[in-house]
Structure 1
């Protein structure tokens, strides 16, 4: 009798212990009774019906990531190899969503196979309409196309696509070499065009600078010539004023103007000899030359004589 009581006590303890279940943070537990969905246990300590209620599946509600590798063919029959990173998570913690996650697929392997094949098919369908030369430039478009196509499907399965990144897009080795040659030739062409444009700009700027220098020099020469002309005019004006004043002074002193003219002529000769850059000063010292000089001075004397002007 005592043995039976001990057995019964142990059985009761085991039933009580089996009635409690612990669910880790970031996880939900789905239970069934006789194979039928019953309820969802949230993180923490939960009580379940002993024996008849069992945990069917534990579902992580944390973000999940998976790396994908697959191949596609363009419209011009070029093989394209993709490497992508997929980030997804359970859509929400509502009961219907968790039931879809728990019961849509037999196991995690089946779900991953369906997910990879769906993404692969979406990308292949998009790439099949594009040419090989366009694919590299359509990385963003491919990503947006896949997100648009697969997000609705994942929602039906109870998941949500968080991010999809195309980490690498490559081609066959022969195509890669030809693409590298095309890029290299385009770079050489662009470099030649840039060099030509730079040379053209340099020559244009040099021509503009030369033209501006010529304009500045011409303007400076014009201003210098104008100033020289003004200087000569002022000099002549001052000479005329000086000669007029000298004539008036000689008339007031009752002196012969020819004396002043001869003195001015000799002073001029002296000035030339002292300030001239040359070493020799040639003068006509012949009788004819002296007579010619005196006649010129007498003529100037008559022109400056006020009595002759009155006549």
Structure 2
């Protein structure tokens, strides 16, 4: 009796297990009735017909990553490169992925390998090395179209590693070194160019400032000469007025000024080794005395009367000072 009850419990457990199915999230189960596909169980709890229906395939509906093995590929210019990749897939239709292809991961991996050889083999080595995005997009287009009947969506394909031959790697290293040296030379030349421009600009500004300084100095000199000329014109006008009034001292002042200027110019001459002093120095002394009297007269006219300055001493030689009227 005990064994019978135990057997009944085991049978009931097996019956319930075959009757009720719980599908986890991210999975789908296909149901077969006498070996023929009938429906797909979504995530959740489902009940099957006992002894008639059974679970066929358990499909993973999450995105999966497949590794494409490394392989050697000959490029268009006969260079041997080693290429491997990874592919991201997602099952969109569980019945198609379960019943239209056997061993889905292996089939997709082989499909990627063959198309990778085709795409890389149609390109030159430089294109393979520097156009990985182009390779990825071409592979994605071809493989996604090929796996669509299987109910699989190929989301991405990425070239994981691409290894050129050793001699090509060495040539690329030398090329990179030469390119770096060329850029360094260009940068150095640009620096020298900028320095030369800066020096030229500095010289230009210095020349402009010097020219402006010379211009200002010339303007100041011209202004000084103008004022000197105005003063001389005023002095000449005053002497002319004195001469018009019949003042002999004014004539003596004018002649003495020219005499002194001429004698000073003769003394400053760098080519003259000997200066001859005129014998008629008394005439010069007399002229100076006349100048003194003229100055005194001017002071009397401009202010209160002051004592006239004493007459200068007579010259040692050359006679006496001519009398003034």
CA contact (8 A) 1:66 1:87 kept: yes
Give the equivalent residue in structure 2 for 1:87. 88
Q: Give the TM-score of the pair, scaled to structure 2.
A: 0.72
Instruction: Work out the CA distance in 2 between the residues paired with 1:229 and 1:10.
Output: 131
Give the equivalent residue in structure 2 for 1:29. 29
- Picking from 92, 95, 98, the partner of 2:94 is 98
Q: CA deviation at 1:42?
A: 1.1
Q: CA deviation at 1:175?
A: 1.6
CA contact (8 A) 1:26 1:62 kept: yes
Q: CA deviation at 1:292?
A: 7.8
Give the equivalent residue in structure 2 for 1:287. 279
Instruction: Work out the CA distance in 2 between the residues paired with 1:118 and 1:10.
Output: 47
Pairwise mapping of residues 192-231 of structure 1 onto structure 2 (< 5 A)?
192-231=185-224
Give the equivalent residue in structure 2 for 1:167. 160
Over 3 Å counting, the alpha-carbon distance change for 1:173 and 1:48 in structure 2 is same
CA contact (8 A) 2:76 2:122 kept: yes
Which of 1 and 2 has higher RCO (CA within 8 Å, sep 6+)? 1
Secondary structure of the structure 1 residue equivalent to 2:72: strand
Q: Flag the structure with higher helix content.
A: 1
Query: After alignment, is 255-264 or 45-54 more displaced?
Result: 255-264
Over 3 Å counting, the alpha-carbon distance change for 1:207 and 1:293 in structure 2 is farther
Over 3 Å counting, the alpha-carbon distance change for 1:147 and 1:6 in structure 2 is closer
Pairwise mapping of residues 125-144 of structure 1 onto structure 2 (< 5 A)?
125-144=118-137
Query: After alignment, is 284-293 or 75-84 more displaced?
Result: 284-293
Instruction: Work out the CA distance in 1 between the residues paired with 2:239 and 2:254.
Output: 10
String of CA shifts for 1:17-46, please: whole Å, max 9, x gaps. 420111111111111112110111111211
Runs of 4+ in 1 over 3 A off after TM superposition: 1-14, 245-255, 258-268, 282-286, 288-295
- Segments of structure 2 that go 5 or more residues without pairing to the other structure are 262-273, 291-325
The alignment covers a number of residue pairs equal to: 277
Over 3 Å counting, the alpha-carbon distance change for 1:288 and 1:56 in structure 2 is farther
CA contact (8 A) 2:256 2:284 kept: no
CA contact (8 A) 2:18 2:54 kept: no
Secondary structure of the structure 2 residue equivalent to 1:124: helix
Over 3 Å counting, the alpha-carbon distance change for 1:294 and 1:225 in structure 2 is farther
- Segments of structure 1 that go 5 or more residues without pairing to the other structure are 92-96, 269-281, 299-311
Instruction: Work out the CA distance in 2 between the residues paired with 1:169 and 1:205.
Output: 49
Instruction: Work out the CA distance in 2 between the residues paired with 1:154 and 1:267.
Output: 121
Secondary structure of the structure 1 residue equivalent to 2:86: strand
CA contact (8 A) 1:75 1:128 kept: yes
Q: CA deviation at 1:185?
A: 1.4
